[in-house]
Chain A
Amino acid sequence: MSPSSWWDPLARAALVAGAACLAGLLIGHVALAVALALAVMLARQLYMLAQVRQWLRSDRVDLAPDAGGAWGEAIGLIGRLFRRKQYHKRRMLQLLRELRSSTAAIADGVVMLNPAAEILWFNRAAARLLHLRGRTDIGLRVDNLVRRPEFVEYLRSGNYAVPVIVQAGGLSDQYLHFQIVPYGAGQLLLMVRDVTQQARLEEMRKDFVANASHELRSPLTVISGYLETLSQDESIAADLRGPIDAMRRQALRMTAIVHDLLELSRLEAEEAAPTGEPVDVGGLLARLRSDLLARLSETRDVQIVIDSSDRLLGVEAQLHSAFGNLLENAVKYTAADGTIAMRWWRDEHGGHLAVRDTGIGIAAAHIPRLTERFYRVDPGRSRASGGSGLGLAIVKHVLQRHGARLLIESEEGKGSTFSCHFLPARLVPPA
């Protein structure tokens, strides 16, 4: 409290008391006059207090009581405080409203859920995509209204890392993409997106690849068949032999590509992960090795180390193709005097299969993209070696189907190790 604010009313009171004193001297009753004056002052103060109290109760700033002096100043200050608060409140409300309306307007559905998965709020897009209705659905559990089993499982799993894509049901073939993001104190933000278009495109792509490769197969068989015959025909002029041979080689390569494309689309079309049968990994590797050595003209150093007699639960044909592709790659990128070693072992993390070579290796920059279709580290080289460019994509898909991971370690000039890691649940101990 600054001195002036204190002195001001005090001076006024003193003034009034002084005036009363003078008047008292005139009429001869000093004490009575002073007491009367002070009583009037007190009454005024009490009256002002009552006024202010009523004003503050009324909740209306604009109806401030009229007053001068200290009371007027105090009332003005209170009014200012009030107005400032209201201004902030208005701004916050406006901000909140803008936020809400922008969230309401975004094209993706947004639903806010409390920890019990009850709906707190949702935007227009969510209402449209999930058929939610205005106020009546607030407070209902979201899984009572959105009942697709995949979504319900996702919601209850508590593990929201991998979003789910759910066919919206009916014969409508609408696809919805659900993602849940936990926030605040156990609250959940559910985001819904209509991915029908993407799903349809993906479907079309798969169909196209599958159909195209299928349709290409029969003409290719005819072409390579005739080229085979022609290349063995003695009566063909010597200068045509070169071109015919080149054509035959390319036709074989094309056949390999079509074969791999078909295999990939078959893998993609398959629904869930196959449980499969227990596969004897040692036997599978031995067969791969002998097939490879029989096919190659020169001898190669291919070693097999089996440190576990556990069998692997899976689809043998797919595993054969995956491991075969890894071996094929190793041979392709390793010089004739290099060593290739395949090892199968298990530990507490599960079963592991590694294919190690002493070949040319891969630069680190290429490793993340190796499993993409038709990705080439060195286009000239791999094409000359006759690969389809799909080998590692097939490996990746097969491993995904088996819940396994592919790990690639490599050092340029020293060699590479491709290892497949299977979960313990996939292993069948020897009887």
Chain B
Amino acid sequence: MEAADFSHHTSRRFNEDLERVRTKVSAMGGFVEEQLSRALTALVAGDSAMGQSVATQDYKVNGMEVSIDEECSRILATRAPAAGDLRMIVATIKAITDLERIGDECEKIALIAARLATEERPEDHYREVKHIGRVAQGMVRDALDAFARLDADLAVRTARNDRIVDEEYESIQRQCITFMMEDPRMIRRALDVMWVVRSLERIGDHAKNVCEYVIYMVHGKDVRHRSLERVEQELKGQNTRE
């Protein structure tokens, strides 16, 4: 894994620059995780105030994205990084876009949560949402862990979880349709739940994207739009060759 080692550069400043970018991405990721967690809590606990506060905090995520983006451009312009360093900068620029989108989805969930909080809460309705929420949260966490650890194996495993989120999404969708047919008064709320689940499904996709950038960063392979099995096999082959 030649890319994993950023530690020997002639310029210590360059090293510090790269490390600072990494830490900033982690901080942004941590904030996005927090937003997601609070948005889901607001929904499940029916806490309207928390939902509002998540929605008003989204500007911070945007600010972080802009700041990291500028930092990356500056490094590209002044340091002209190559090989692993270049891949890291490129992966970072892409990853923060996905993180920012996750932030946007959190905002959507939070706004719906704030609205739903004023209505009566369903008996156990949010159980499915909680479950898919947990999976999506785990994906975001693992994707960021993989990014911090430059752990391509974890990235592959995490990317595979996206399928669980997609399946959950399908099943909740079917369930909501059933609810709506049974009781037309439920349509509005079912639609709201659908939006939440849709957002969570998108969050899973974004987390998967981040995982793909990690694989790119570590192995220098672009694995977008490819089946995971093939990617895994190729990576294994590469590892044994090493």
Contacts and interface: CB of A to CB of B under 8 A. Distances in A.
Are A and B co-members of a single complex? yes
Contacts of B149: 133, 136-137, 140, 145
Contacts of A149: 27, 30-31, 34
Contacts of B44: 171
A140 B26 CA distance: 12
Interface string B8-29: 0000000000010011001101
Nearest to B53: A271
A383 B134 CA distance: 52
Contacts of A171: 37, 40-41, 44, 130, 133-134, 137
A169 B40 contact: no
A144 B133 contact: no
Contacts of B26: 141, 143-145, 147
A12 interface: no
B162 interface: no
A152 interface: yes
Given A169-B37, A171-B133, A140 B148 contact: yes
Chain B interface helix/strand/loop/mixed: helix
Q: Which one of B19, B31, B148 has the highest number of Cβ atoms from chain A below 10 Å of its Cβ?
A: B148
B37 A170 contact: yes
Interface residues of A, number: 17
Interface string A117-143: 000000000000001010011001101
A149 B31 CA distance: 6
Contact of B151 (A131, A136, A147, A152): A136
B148 A170 contact: no
A167 B34 CA distance: 9
A145 B145 contact: yes
Nearest to B19: A141
Contacts of B30: 143, 147-149, 152
Nearest to A172: B134
Nearest to B131: A171
B59 to A, nearest CB: 15
B72 interface: no
Given A141-B23, A144-B23, A147-B26, A169 B33 contact: yes
Contacts of A170: 37, 134, 137-138, 141
Nearest to A150: B34
B93 interface: no
A149 B38 CA distance: 12
Nearest to A137: B149
Among B33, B37, B130, B133, which residue has the most Cβ atoms of chain A within 10 A?
B37
Given A147-B26, A147-B30, A147-B33, 9 more contacts: A141-B19, A144-B22, A145-B148, A148-B30, A149-B27, A152-B27, A169-B37, A170-B137, A170-B138
Interface of B: 19, 22-23, 26-27, 29-31, 33-34, 37, 40-41, 44, 130, 133-134, 137-138, 141, 144-145, 148-149, 151
24 contacts: A133-B149, A137-B149, A141-B19, A141-B23, A143-B30, A144-B22, A144-B26, A144-B148, A145-B26, A145-B148, A147-B27, A148-B33, A149-B31, A149-B34, A152-B27, A152-B30, A169-B34, A169-B37, A169-B137, A170-B134, A170-B138, A171-B44, A171-B130, A171-B133
* Chain A to chain B: the 5 pairs with minimum beta-carbon distance, closest first: A147-B30, A144-B148, A144-B26, A169-B37, A149-B31
